[in-house]
Chains A and B, each alone.
Chain A
């Protein structure tokens, strides 16, 4: 057996100085040699815990082995058996809580850099034009997929592999859902998203852009035309904190901040039409991935940026890499504060009042509940505020389909087969209210299987 290598092959990254001047991707990616060296660190454990904790159960051990042997094509195809978009998932999965979190090497040293090996293979396949060769046995039945985000993509791909005719309806003018409008270029280049989406078209999935169910296409029309429907509409509507002053200019939802930046390319304004006003001092409420994305974007617009979080860094729900990058990029992390009001001058935000918090007893997810410290309010001057406190399913879609069963905040209810009502299935953030790309992928795949069973019976 080869000698155990405890440390990772370092991932080359853009220097902080360069990062702050561009929206280019931060990790530069492994070379072929680096990827092989990293893959060779894998112990090839018998029980492969990495696979169990993956929401789509990628054969990590299998693909890493092929990669270590330099068999890139075989390694890539191994991932593709379980994950249709490796170049994306490798970049955005919270690996530290999944495959890398259970990696045996992690006990002795650094876990295998599985995410970066996965994206390496996705990128390698794109560069070399390597594709899965599929033989699709066409079926007569048709399925409509609403939403072209992660869950819609994986559901569409699997349904197509089963042989169904699949049409994906996307409300925006570009496909990809949150991958397109939400996650910034420096974390997930849109070129990668567009390339991965080409794969859908190559296998015969019909993607219809600008199709807003309930506005220009009715749900009834879909029911009449398709044998089953998958609802992958995501959680695209922003929550606001609900404090005074949210109407002031300079206050954004993270969704607006990121849609302007990513989908509309405000960082290339005025070459692109859509602007974004970013002040000198920006506050971001929240500390999930969306908060990090907003903060890091604001930093690239030249601002001094403060994350305002009601717990401490230890309980920050963002991916480890995002938090690390944010801190490297000089973003200040203010712990144990919650906003109480926003104040302004001449119609623009001038600052925020914050209240100090302390950590209390654990709540149901095990994190300590933040508790207010009465009388601890203080003022912080800001000229831009971004609220990144979560999203909810879009009521535009829901109210046009009253027959769908929903729970609180319009979250779509499903049974263990991900079916809502006869012939209508759902997955992704539309049923969770907000989770990860990979969980959405997993649900899309699971729903495709259920739809296949459902259509095979009828």
Chain B
């Protein structure tokens, strides 16, 4: 059966993993790309980060947040998605960067962290330093797997209950100070990219971030995901989703992602009511 869910696991109380049968997507996936998921015939097209694609299966990390992610959480192993389309977007350039920090502080970012760390570790001359941030110890995941695909690994927790207390930016700052970082890849909270960009700019270190504007078709047709890079309009779906953080207009992006907030609440309420009636 196409797009069958073959594995579903909780990552923590909010985040979960699903592994879906999708040989077409898996065959072409490269680090940095994403997929578009549709749960049912009335569903929206949702861009999803991919952790890995192996043996014809695609593994995605998802936060229970909006209507679709909550609905999808109810799907069981053996159920099928309406569609999983991709890979979309451009992969990162896999080459020798030297000392590369790969950082994440949000579910989608953690998935990308794994894909990017793994791809870059395979290049001779790269020293991959993977960093994750979570609120607390009970929320953390992926440590073991990330250690396997990186040369150095750091975990920072906001409450300090394990690893280093603080944010990955604190660790990164120390390393930048010591001149240990040649390149940064980051994925996660868009608001977090703003201080990150300021930090790495001070040390003149190139920084690539994954942008997550709202998308509809994700094939370059609607223009919903337009972002401004060095003042020029680009589409995150086909020109990105990964861009040079030093050139991104973040104010614009942070505003754009708010556009459908009210409707997202309506959709969730509608879904919850429907579930209650059932």
Residues on A lying within 8 angstroms of B by beta carbon are 171-173, 181, 210, 212, 215-216, 236-238, 240, 246-250, 252-253, 255-256, 259-260, 263-265, 268-275, 277, 347, 394-396
22 contacts across the A-B interface (CB closer than 8 A): A171-B217, A172-B219, A173-B38, A173-B83, A181-B217, A215-B28, A216-B28, A216-B85, A216-B86, A236-B219, A238-B221, A240-B233, A246-B226, A247-B252, A253-B222, A255-B221, A255-B223, A260-B216, A264-B216, A273-B68, A277-B263, A396-B238
Give the distance in Å from the alpha carbon of A396 to the alpha carbon of B88 in the complex.
10
Residues on B lying within 8 angstroms of A by beta carbon are 24-25, 27-28, 38, 42-45, 67-68, 82-83, 85-88, 216-217, 219-224, 226, 228, 233, 238, 249, 252, 255-256, 258-260, 262-264, 266-267, 270-271
A256 touches B216 (CB 8 A): yes
Chain B residues near A273 (CB-CB < 8 A): 42-44, 67-68, 267
Chain A nearest CB, measured from B194 CB (Å)? 16
Chain A nearest CB, measured from B237 CB (Å)? 8
Give the distance in Å from the alpha carbon of A274 to the alpha carbon of B266 in the complex.
11
By beta carbon, the residue of chain A nearest B46 is A273
Chain A nearest CB, measured from B203 CB (Å)? 29
Chain B nearest CB, measured from A99 CB (Å)? 31
By beta carbon, the residue of chain B nearest A272 is B42
B219 touches A171 (CB 8 A): yes
A255 touches B222 (CB 8 A): yes
Give the distance in Å from the alpha carbon of A426 to the alpha carbon of B216 in the complex.
27
A259 touches B259 (CB 8 A): no
Give the distance in Å from the alpha carbon of A172 to the alpha carbon of B83 in the complex.
11
Give the distance in Å from the alpha carbon of A347 to the alpha carbon of B256 in the complex.
8
Partner of A275, one of B28, B68, B87, B260: B260
A396 touches B220 (CB 8 A): yes
Supply 6 further A-B pairs (C-beta < 8 A) apart from A253-B222, A260-B216, A273-B43: A171-B219, A173-B82, A256-B224, A259-B217, A277-B259, A277-B262
Partner of B255, one of A181, A236, A237, A347: A347
B221 touches A210 (CB 8 A): no
A396 touches B43 (CB 8 A): no
A260, A274, A395: most-surrounded residue (chain B CB, <10 A): A274
Give the distance in Å from the alpha carbon of A246 to the alpha carbon of B233 in the complex.
10
Chain A residues near B222 (CB-CB < 8 A): 238, 253, 255-256, 259-260
Chain B residues near A259 (CB-CB < 8 A): 216-217, 221-222
Give the distance in Å from the alpha carbon of A252 to the alpha carbon of B221 in the complex.
12
Partner of B223, one of A249, A256, A268, A347: A256
Give the distance in Å from the alpha carbon of A171 to the alpha carbon of B220 in the complex.
11
Chain B residues near A181 (CB-CB < 8 A): 217, 221
By beta carbon, the residue of chain A nearest B263 is A275
Give the distance in Å from the alpha carbon of A264 to the alpha carbon of B68 in the complex.
14
Chain A residues near B271 (CB-CB < 8 A): 270
A271 touches B220 (CB 8 A): no
A264 touches B238 (CB 8 A): no
Say yes or no: A215-B43 contact (C-beta < 8 A), given A347-B258, A396-B238.
no
Say yes or no: A236-B85 contact (C-beta < 8 A), given A216-B24, A249-B258, A275-B267.
no
B223 touches A212 (CB 8 A): no
B220 touches A249 (CB 8 A): no
Chain A residues near B67 (CB-CB < 8 A): 273
Chain B residues near A270 (CB-CB < 8 A): 263, 266-267, 270-271
Chain A nearest CB, measured from B29 CB (Å)? 9
Chain B nearest CB, measured from A155 CB (Å)? 21
Give the distance in Å from the alpha carbon of A345 to the alpha carbon of B221 in the complex.
27
Give the distance in Å from the alpha carbon of A263 to the alpha carbon of B86 in the complex.
18
A172 touches B217 (CB 8 A): yes
By beta carbon, the residue of chain B nearest A242 is B233
Give the distance in Å from the alpha carbon of A255 to the alpha carbon of B44 in the complex.
16
Give the distance in Å from the alpha carbon of A160 to the alpha carbon of B241 in the complex.
39
Chain A residues near B82 (CB-CB < 8 A): 173
Chain B residues near A347 (CB-CB < 8 A): 255, 258
Chain B residues near A238 (CB-CB < 8 A): 221-223
By beta carbon, the residue of chain B nearest A211 is B24
By beta carbon, the residue of chain A nearest B252 is A247
Query: What 9 A-B pairs are tightest by C-beta distance, nearest first?
Result: A275-B263, A273-B44, A256-B222, A270-B270, A347-B255, A253-B223, A249-B259, A210-B85, A396-B238
Give the distance in Å from the alpha carbon of A268 to the alpha carbon of B252 in the complex.
29
Chain A nearest CB, measured from B32 CB (Å)? 13
Chain A nearest CB, measured from B23 CB (Å)? 10
Chain A residues near B258 (CB-CB < 8 A): 249, 347
Chain A nearest CB, measured from B71 CB (Å)? 9
Give the distance in Å from the alpha carbon of A272 to the alpha carbon of B266 in the complex.
12
Say yes or no: A264-B45 contact (C-beta < 8 A), given A210-B83, A216-B25.
yes
Partner of B219, one of A212, A250, A277: A212
Chain A residues near B42 (CB-CB < 8 A): 265, 268, 271-273
Chain A residues near B68 (CB-CB < 8 A): 273
Give the distance in Å from the alpha carbon of A264 to the alpha carbon of B82 in the complex.
14
B220 touches A237 (CB 8 A): yes
Partner of B220, one of A246, A247, A269, A395: A395
